[in-house]
Amino acid sequence: MALVLIYVDDMLITGNSILLIEETKNQLKQAFKMKDLGELRYFLGIEFGRSKQGILMHQRKYALELISETGLTAAKPAGTLIDTNLKLTTKQYDEETQMTKDDPLTDQGAYQRIVGKLLYLTMIRPDIFYGVQILSQFLQQPKKPHMTTTLRIVRYVKNPLGQGLILSSYSKNTITAYCDADWASFPLTKRLITGYFVQYGGSLVSWKSKK
């Protein structure tokens, strides 16, 4: 079996037979102008490293660019993702309850860009998924506390930069799943927040956090 993954003008070819992979590449070269870059090391912002333990997928270069763009290169890394006592609210919630009066952001586009880039980073950093998902709910009318929390997550990404996911070489044909729920914890709607992740052998293959 040979598998071909194509994204615009980038291509990955893999499979369980070296001979079939080479044959597939030769056939494609006859029809298209191609350049063989050899063993996979970088693809769509994701870096790949190999060892006896498996293949490590990380986005160190992408994270460094994000940190530089936000001006946090010299900032101290954050030890935790979000302050546990923090309560982020929408502008409509503030107007109805009159409990808080946070200033709106003058540059909403900057907030939207950073959250969008953090969402792409969650592919390899599931540990930031919960916080980024919360921040993505305020894209329409972000306030200053939302941006402050966003920059805190960027500082959290710095520690450590090379963290990622490993596709384990441990070939055990088993599926393991874990899930949890935090009842009525969402401050605006009092709905529960659930999360799960699924492992195939020793590799994380699926995860999600939702309310």
Give Cα 26 to chain centroid, integer Å: 35
Q: How far apart are alpha carbons 168 and 191 in whole angstroms?
A: 36
Q: Flag the least confident range among 44-48, 59-63, 192-196.
A: 192-196
Q: Where are the beta strands (DSSP E) in 77-174?
A: 164-168
- Residue 8 scores a pLDDT above 80: yes
- State whether residue 6 is helix, strand or coil: strand
Residue 194 has a pLDDT of 80
What pTM was estimated for this model as a whole?
0.81
Tokens 């999600």 sit on residue = 208
Cβ pair 105, 142 in contact under 8 A? yes
Q: Which residue has the higher pLDDT, 159 or 111?
A: 111
Q: Which residue has the higher pLDDT, 88 or 4?
A: 4
Q: How far apart are alpha carbons 150 and 172 in whole angstroms?
A: 38
pLDDT tens digit string along 118-154? 999 998 998 898 889 889 989 988 999 999 999 999 9
Which residue ranges make up each domain of the chain? Answer: 2-57, 58-164, 170-210
Q: Which residue has the higher pLDDT, 21 or 184?
A: 21
- Residue 59 scores a pLDDT above 90: yes
Q: Where are the beta strands (DSSP E) in 16-110?
A: 42-43, 46-51, 54-58
pLDDT tens digit string along 9-45? 889 999 989 999 999 999 999 999 989 988 899 988 8
Q: Is 114 exposed, middle or buried (0-12, 13-18, 19+ CB in 10 A)?
A: buried
Q: How far apart are alpha carbons 183 and 89 in whole angstroms?
A: 19
CA nearest neighbour of 167 among 205, 127, 129: 205
The tokens describing 9, both together, are 């003008």
Q: Is 112 exposed, middle or buried (0-12, 13-18, 19+ CB in 10 A)?
A: middle
CA nearest neighbour of 39 among 31, 30, 47: 47
Residue 189 has a pLDDT of 61
Q: How far apart are alpha carbons 209 and 211 in whole angstroms?
A: 7
Q: Count Cα neighbours of 191 within 13 Å in the Cβ-side half-sphere.
A: 6
Q: Flag the least confident range among 9-23, 169-183, 184-198.
A: 184-198
pLDDT tens digit string along 79-111? 899 887 778 888 777 777 777 777 888 889 999
Cβ pair 87, 187 in contact under 8 A? yes
- State whether residue 94 is helix, strand or coil: helix
